[in-house]
């Protein structure tokens, strides 16, 4: 039986991916900042572990408790739209701390055991916003684009140890807590210089929303990355992500 460890399993894509793999008889290590035992159906193949990707001790504790891991999914993340001029450096650092450095910390903690076993798969959930220069999300895009660049180099570096690295790039999804979290972190709507621009831009983005991405699209993309040796490095997940990927060429 294979083992998958997923960060940010308390909701959204992470929770759906945990459910998807459990249903297919994998051992699932569902990690969460604040462990909740009742989110997933009870199963002897399920273990819920505490893991905050911004806390190195918590990362190492979870990886040690996990034992052998075949697949790790760096899914924990959040977005916080605001005009760059109004984005505090604290907010910039927080976005990188979770989306970028968190991914790197978990990856670094799991690499030694994968290298020793000469096998493993690292799957980094980034975003299809990295395909498009959208306004108001520059720092989030930069944090995810940094993970894309990191993943590409790492893939070349660790292929010699039988380790694969993939990026899953979801499109926009209303099914998860992502938008709610982003709304609570939104800055600048009342600002005299940027406020009206923000309202217009956000209204336009809402109008142009097409079919979007379902949590299942992401779980399926992770499944493909985990199981298919010939899966591409970048896997867009969701109809909108596929569209943006094809437009980007
Ligand atoms: N939804 C979208 O439109 C969209 C599009 C493209 C990419 N993405 C990416 O997809 C991933 C999953 O997002 P989602 O849409 O499923 O949103 P979500 O429902 O808000 O889930 C985010 C998860 O990340 C966890 N998390 C946040 N900070 C963490 C930390 N420091 N340590 C560990 N876990 C942490 C959250 O845990 P708590 O419960 O503790 O907050 C939650 O479980 C993110 O990386 C996001 O950037 C989302």
C-alpha of residue 160 to centroid of ligand 1, in Å: 31
Ligand 1 in contact with 114 (CB < 6 A)?
no
Ligand 1 in contact with 33 (CB < 6 A)?
yes
* Predicted TM-score (pTM) of this structure: 0.98
Ligand 1 in contact with 176 (CB < 6 A)?
yes
Q: What is the pLDDT of residue 186?
A: 87
Q: What is the pLDDT of residue 187?
A: 86
Check: CB of residue 37 under 8 Å from CB of residue 48.
yes
| Residue among 71, 105, 58, 76 nearest 12 (CA) | 76
Ligand 1 in contact with 236 (CB < 6 A)?
no
Query: Which residue, by CA, sits nearest to atom 32 of ligand 1?
Result: 52
Catalogue the active-site residues: 140
C-alpha of residue 228 to centroid of ligand 1, in Å: 25
Query: Which residue, by CA, sits nearest to atom 8 of ligand 1?
Result: 127
Ligand 1 in contact with 6 (CB < 6 A)?
no
Which stretches of the chain are assigned E, i.e. beta strand? 3-6, 27-32, 46-50, 71-74, 120-125, 163-170, 234-237
Q: What is the pLDDT of residue 207?
A: 79
C-alpha of residue 8 to centroid of ligand 1, in Å: 6
Check: CB of residue 90 under 8 Å from CB of residue 139.
no
Instruction: Determine the atom of ligand 1 nearest the C-alpha atom of 176.
Output: 19
C-alpha of residue 85 to centroid of ligand 1, in Å: 25
Q: Which superfamily does CATH assign the domain made up of 3-241 to?
A: NAD(P)-binding Rossmann-like Domain (3.40.50.720)
Helices (H) and strands (E) in the chain, counts: 9, 7
Q: Domain boundaries in the chain?
A: 3-241
Ligand 1 in contact with 172 (CB < 6 A)?
yes
Rg (CA), the chain: 18
C-alpha of residue 75 to centroid of ligand 1, in Å: 6
Query: Which residue, by CA, sits nearest to atom 17 of ligand 1?
Result: 178
Q: In order along the chain (249 residues), what is the average pLDDT of each group of 10 residues?
A: 98 98 98 98 97 98 98 98 96 98 99 98 98 96 98 98 98 95 90 94 80 95 98 97 94
- Cα(100)–Cα(151) distance, rounded to whole angstroms? 11
């Amino acid at each position: 039986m294979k083992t998958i460890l997923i960060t940010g399993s308390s909701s959204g894509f992470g929770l759906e991916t945990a459910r998807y793999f459990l249903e297919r008889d994998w051992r699932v290590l569902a990690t969460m900042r604040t462990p909740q035992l009742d989110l997933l159906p009870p199963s002897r193949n399920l273990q819920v572990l505490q893991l905050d990707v911004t806390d190195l001790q918590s990362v190492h504790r979870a990886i040690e408790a996990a034992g052998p891991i075949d697949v790790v999914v760096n899914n924990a993340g959040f977005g916080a739209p605001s005009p760059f001029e109004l984005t505090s450096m604290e907010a910039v650092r927080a976005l990188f701390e979770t989306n970028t450095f968190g991914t790197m910390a978990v990856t670094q903690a799991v690499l030694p055991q994968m290298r020793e076993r000469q096998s493993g798969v690292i799957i980094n959930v980034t975003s299809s916003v990295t395909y498009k220069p959208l306004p108001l999300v520059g720092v989030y895009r930069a944090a995810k684009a940094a993970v894309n660049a990191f993943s590409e180099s790492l893939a070349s570096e660790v292929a010699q140890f039988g380790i694969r690295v993939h990026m899953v790039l979801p499109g926009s999804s209303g099914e998860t807590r992502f938008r709610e979290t982003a709304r609570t972190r939104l800055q600048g709507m009342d600002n005299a210089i940027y406020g009206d621009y923000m309202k217009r831009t956000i209204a336009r983005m809402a109008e142009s929303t097409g079919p979007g991405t379902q949590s299942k699209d992401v779980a399926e993309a992770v499944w493909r990355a985990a199981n298919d040796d010939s899966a591409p490095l970048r896997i867009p997940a969701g109809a909108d992500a596929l569209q943006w990927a094809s437009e980007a060429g």
